[in-house]
């Protein structure tokens, strides 16, 4: 006789994708467990900027644990041609800045309030499917079983390998959390700094979070010239020195790889689906990942709950296939449009820098930040198509 799994849905990973998935699955009535290798609250390397799509995805949170609200941006091109533009103080912010330990803790509380359970300090070693369920092998030698598993354990995690996710773009991000004295907080507050770097498709940033600054750079791990790790580290050192921050204490010093999926990469293997970084879902141009994690996680949780409740293998497969279709029609479209913009930005960063300094360019940038203008919609504009067509020929 076939045994019933312990859980309808097991979520591997307790970041934004996993916690959004657990919340959605529990809200749909599925018995749900989160398996998290660390323990909340825990530090996570991340810029921590919440764009409009992220804020929309968590609008039911009682409080967004924001450290700052961004209404101004200072831009430079390889350290020069600097300009600053700002929105009115009374207007909607462009971004809300969070520390990931605070933000993820709030998402965990929301998932638990919906009925999900969590097992922290729980390492997942492997997955296997048999007898109509998934067996999740843990680091302590025990096993958890579930009707459906949602993988949200990062792009280098167990679940992505199990599903067979492949990547078209790999970037190296380096980041410092720098402590600043109280007297310097007003200098940085309410303003993001962006610098378009020398390495193709690279940029640097400063995100203010009260008495902390998140300072980082990101670039392709490899270009036609070869590996870029040394050049990326040099870019970060130069950027920090240029900002006058070299003498400040770096509370955290971290690096990570961001990986964008190939369009034909699978999102499902049997009863296992992947979301967020585990699925390689993030915006290729800016490498923004929080909104992609929250949105894909919510879709995965809803599909997993529907699949777990299905009365037949065909019904389960249909429910899980719906997730892939929803991703392709939504986040997949955003990624395709973003890749087109990235290709042009890589060759002509000066054009984008100059365009952003104009009134129209700034208005478009603010709409992107607030998620009022998706990239794919922007590319339907006649002037956008014309500009990209000309730049692609240069």
Q: What is the pLDDT of residues 36-87, one digit of tens each?
A: 999 998 888 788 999 999 999 999 999 999 999 999 999 999 999 999 999 9
Residue ranges of the alpha helices (H) in 166-311? 185-188, 229-242, 290-309
pLDDT of residue 1: 43
- Other C-beta atoms closer than 10 Å to the C-beta of 347 total 13
Q: Is the pLDDT of residue 327 over 60?
A: yes
The mean predicted confidence, pLDDT, of the chain is: 95
What end-to-end distance do the CA atoms of the chain give, in Å?
67
Tell whether omega for the bond before 41 is within 30 degrees of 0, i.e. cis. Answer: yes
Q: What is the mean pLDDT of residues 318-326?
A: 97
pLDDT recorded at residue 194: 98
- Give residue-wise pLDDT tens across range 180-222: 999 999 999 999 999 999 999 999 999 999 999 999 999 999 9
Report the DSSP pairing between strands 72-77 and 66-70.
Answer: unpaired
Mean per-residue pLDDT for 338-354?
94
Instruction: Determine what percent of the chain is predicted with pLDDT higher than 70.
Output: 99
Whole-angstrom Cα distance, residue 293 to residue 23?
13
pLDDT at residue 2 in the model: 62
């Amino acid at each position: 006789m076939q045994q019933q799994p312990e859980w309808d849905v097991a979520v591997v990973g307790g970041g934004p994708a996993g916690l959004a998935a657990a919340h959605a699955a529990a809200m749909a009535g599925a018995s749900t467990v989160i398996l998290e290798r660390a323990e909340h609250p825990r530090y996570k390397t991340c810029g921590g900027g919440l764009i409009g799509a992220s804020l929309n995805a968590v609008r039911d949170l009682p409080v967004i644990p924001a450290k700052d609200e961004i209404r101004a941006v200072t831009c430079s091109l390889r350290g020069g041609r600097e300009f600053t533009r700002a929105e009115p103080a009374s207007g909607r912010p462009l971004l809300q800045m969070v520390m990931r330990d605070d933000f993820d803790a709030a998402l965990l509380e929301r998932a638990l309030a919906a009925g999900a359970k969590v097992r922290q300090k729980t390492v997942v070693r492997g997955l296997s499917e048999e007898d109509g369920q998934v067996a999740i092998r843990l680091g302590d030698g025990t096993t958890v079983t579930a009707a459906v598993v949602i993988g949200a354990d990062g792009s280098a995690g167990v679940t992505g390998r199990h599903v067979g996710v492949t990547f078209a773009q790999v970037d190296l991000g380096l980041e410092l959390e720098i402590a600043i004295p109280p007297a310097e907080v007003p200098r940085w507050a309410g303003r993001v700094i962006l610098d378009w770097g020398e390495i193709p498709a690279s940029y640097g940033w400063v995100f203010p979070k009260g008495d902390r600054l998140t300072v980082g750079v990101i670039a392709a791990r490899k270009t036609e010239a070869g590996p870029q790790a040394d050049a990326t580290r040099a870019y970060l050192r130069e950027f920090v020195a240029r900002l006058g921050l070299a003498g400040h204490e770096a509370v955290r010093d971290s690096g990570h790889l961001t990986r964008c999926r190939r369009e034909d990469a699978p999102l499902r293997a049997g009863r296992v689906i992947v979301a967020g970084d585990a699925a390689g879902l993030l915006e290729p141009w800016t490498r923004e990942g929080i909104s992609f994690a929250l949105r894909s996680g919510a879709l995965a949780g809803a599909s997993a709950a529907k699949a777990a409740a299905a009365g037949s293998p065909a019904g389960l497969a249909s429910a899980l296939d719906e997730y892939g279709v929803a991703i392709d029609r939504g986040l997949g479209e955003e990624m395709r449009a973003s890749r087109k913009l990235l290709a042009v930005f890589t060759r002509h960063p000066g054009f984008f820098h100059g365009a952003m300094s104009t009134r129209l360019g700034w208005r478009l940038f603010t709409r992107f930040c607030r998620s009022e203008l998706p990239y794919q919609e922007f590319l339907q504009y006649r002037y956008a198509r014309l500009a990209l067509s000309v730049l692609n020929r240069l």
